[in-house]
Structure 1
Amino acid sequence: MPTTCAIRSSRVSTTTSSCGGASFSNPVPARGVRVHWENIPPEIRAAFEKRLGGRVVEAVTQPTGFSPGLAARLRLEDGRRFFLKAVHETANPDTPGIHRREARVVAALPGNAPVPTFLWSYDEEGWVALCFEDVDGRHPHEPWTEPDLALVVRTLKDMADVLTPSPFPTDETVGEWFEHTINGWQLALGRGEDRLESWCAENLSALAELEAEAPMLVDGDSLLHCDVRADNLLIARERVYVVDWPWVRLGPSWVDWVGMAPSVAMQSGPQPEDFMSRFDLSLVPDRAIDAAVCTIAGYFVVRALEPPPPGIPTVRAFQAAQGRAAVAWLRQRTGWV
């Protein structure tokens, strides 16, 4: 999972204890396993410092996010500050490629997108690193507050305007992503999954059918972030920055809002229907939203049953928490018993 590009705070999420419950009270932190600056090999630190143009005198590891590598705010001896994220190929086989993909994306984003300034990347000796401006900001408060929600919603609306149509082509559309990657209910049905909570198990065939409709209902020409949640947002005074951009796809802007809604509820914010009421969805069919919610719920619920990826031991609990919030929302929307 992606990591942020600047300050990380010790936020936690809250979850239910069953597949379709409606109260969220058990903390699940959005944290992985970080590598500290002093644990980077000396020759690699020296290479980074050469690119930075000075010696690092302070490095503060940022705890939230799931990337199994370095994510640190750096201060140089001349007082300049940067944010550096870096990973070695041995930490996780997928993360270097994710960093490379993010470097290509942030280098191509327009200057008026709400993104920290990307400065350079490094890709040598098995290490991949990205350097950004250091944003002196914070994550949204938990519980979510109305002022933070207003700032974030305004930013997401503005971001949709800036990124519609997409400023560059993508490798994948949201429809293709839904069809081939986040089709959890169909996978669970096909393999006879027996670890689902009762509501999910009893409605599995209907869930798989609704999920199968989603790819045909999410056509659009906007560039989507596809991983918007509190630990990928930074608030600096009245400005919000959206960070961690490796997962961009082409689709309708509202899919990003639907994808964020369960995490807002999970982290003691408004329930998904309340959150979504802050956006104009007048042209979006209810069936399309139902299918997208179903798809996102299936992704989190079923993916959380798998063993954790190498170097990311905490991500499954976080996915399970989002899955429970998404399923509670889906039960409300469908009325299925």
Structure 2
Amino acid sequence: MTNSNRTSPPAYLLKLLEDTTGKETVSWHMPDCGLSPAFRFSVMLEDKNKVFVKAATDETTAYWLRNEYLALSTLRGKFMPNIIAWIDIPDIHPVLITQDLSDAYWPASHQGVTWRKGDFELLLDAVQMLSSIEAPPDLPAMKNWGTGIWPSIAENPCPFLQLGLCSEAWFKRSIDALILAESKTDVTGNFLVHGDIRSDNICIEGSQVIFVDWSHAGRGNKHHDLGNLLPTLHLEGGPAPYLVMPEGGVVAASGAAALTQRLLADQSMPEWLKKVFIKLIAIDLEWASQCLGIDLPDEIK
């Protein structure tokens, strides 16, 4: 490696990449993405071509990376990054080398999220295409939870009511409908599920949407990715979920319950994230109300 940019890779990873490509590396840049402890680098090679390197750092990230490689190597869709090399040898955590997408448009960064005109339409079309594909049988199957969350909230509604999302009267009128809708949740199926579609796992190259980080890919319900995406997308300026999925009452009810459970259980959650969760729950509750034919929540802040 002739020089470095921002950070230097571990020595073993430098050697692996240069041995695999047969080229020296010029620079290693850590992109503004990723939440797991896996290594991520955008690397410039001596021939001025770039590659993206993702390396596992423990057994958990190794499992995720092998799952990501399984999805990318089996399907190779237009909405996936191209694989350049896969390294999985004894005594070293696996390494995935793919096409570098740092020059594509990334709507999300640590500075915020900026969607351009027409991006939402491209994204929703891409999600629909992804979700219509039959998943490879070796991908892990999604499984339903054994018990619902709304019944436990109903037993002790005070913490939920203190979030200021609705009045006690609205809760009493609506809880049976929410419980019933959540009970119909079924995430199982044989369709491709990305499992973590959000703005920081999306880039756009020309008119092609590309989804990255396929660590949680699996087989499941064809509406799973879209249902999980819509509330956050609406928070970022996208369409109201009901306009895209008017039949999504079950998804909305279960989504609101899951977010509520996480919010109330995590006492260490920072205040800014709590506010985001409350906004997302409000979006889900409004969406559920529109789909299930119940009154809109009456005290959403």
**TM-score in same-fold range (> 0.5):** yes
- Please give the TM-score of this superposition, normalised by the length of structure 1: 0.68
Q: Deviations over 1:21-60 (max 9, x none)?
A: xxxxxxxxxxxxxxx751x432332223222322221122
Q: How far, CA to CA, are the matches of 1:319 and 1:127 in structure 2? A: 35
Q: How far, CA to CA, are the matches of 2:267 and 2:83 in structure 1? A: 30
In structure 1, which of residues 96, 106, 114 is the aligned counterpart of residue 72 of structure 2?
106
| Shift in Å, 1:84 | 0.9
**What is the match of residue 300 of structure 1?**
259
Correspondence 1:262 to 2:226: no
1:56–1:75 CA contact under 8 A, matched in 2: yes
**Which residues of 2 match residues 167-186 of structure 1 at below 5 A?**
167-173=136-142, 176-177=143-144, 179=145, 185=150
In structure 1, which of residues 206, 212, 236 is the aligned counterpart of residue 183 of structure 2?
212
Larger-gyration structure (1/2): 2
In structure 1, which of residues 145, 155, 159 is the aligned counterpart of residue 116 of structure 2?
145
SS at 2:137 equivalent: coil
**What is the match of residue 42 of structure 1?**
11
RMSD of aligned Cα (Å): 3.5
Correspondence 1:321 to 2:276: yes
**What is the match of residue 3 of structure 2?**
none
**What is the match of residue 20 of structure 1?**
none
**What is the match of residue 131 of structure 1?**
97
Correspondence 1:245 to 2:214: yes
Q: How far, CA to CA, are the matches of 2:41 and 2:152 in structure 1? A: 37
In structure 1, which of residues 84, 104, 120 is the aligned counterpart of residue 85 of structure 2?
120
| Shift in Å, 1:304 | 4.1
Q: Deviations over 1:198-235 (max 9, x none)?
A: 447954964455323212xx554321212212111110
Aligned pair count?
275
2:250–2:288 CA contact under 8 A, matched in 1: no
CA 108–209 in structure 1, closer or farther in 2 if over 3 Å, else same: same
1:140–1:148 CA contact under 8 A, matched in 2: no
Identity of aligned residues (%): 20
Q: Deviations over 1:243-269 (max 9, x none)?
A: 111222333422221111011122232
Amino acid in structure 2 at the alignment position of 1:55: E
Q: Deviations over 1:157-207 (max 9, x none)?
A: 33234x1x334353223xx24x259x6546766898947624479549644
Correspondence 1:228 to 2:194: no
In structure 1, which of residues 86, 97, 113 is the aligned counterpart of residue 55 of structure 2?
86
Compare 234-243 and 262-271 and name the one that shifted more: 262-271
Q: How far, CA to CA, are the matches of 1:72 and 1:193 in structure 2? A: 46
2:252–2:287 CA contact under 8 A, matched in 1: no
Q: How far, CA to CA, are the matches of 1:308 and 1:60 in structure 2? A: 35
**What is the match of residue 271 of structure 1?**
240
- Please give the TM-score of this superposition, normalised by the length of structure 2: 0.75
CA 167–328 in structure 1, closer or farther in 2 if over 3 Å, else same: same
1:73–1:134 CA contact under 8 A, matched in 2: yes
**Which residues of 2 match residues 21-36 of structure 1 at below 5 A?**
none
Comparing both chains, which one has the higher relative contact order based on Cα–Cα distances under 8 Å and sequence gaps of 6 or more?
1
Q: Deviations over 1:61-86 (max 9, x none)?
A: 11123122322211011222101112
Gaps of 5+ in 1: 1-35
Amino acid in structure 1 at the alignment position of 2:22: G
1:88–1:126 CA contact under 8 A, matched in 2: no
Q: How far, CA to CA, are the matches of 2:272 and 2:95 in structure 1? A: 27
**What is the match of residue 14 of structure 1?**
none
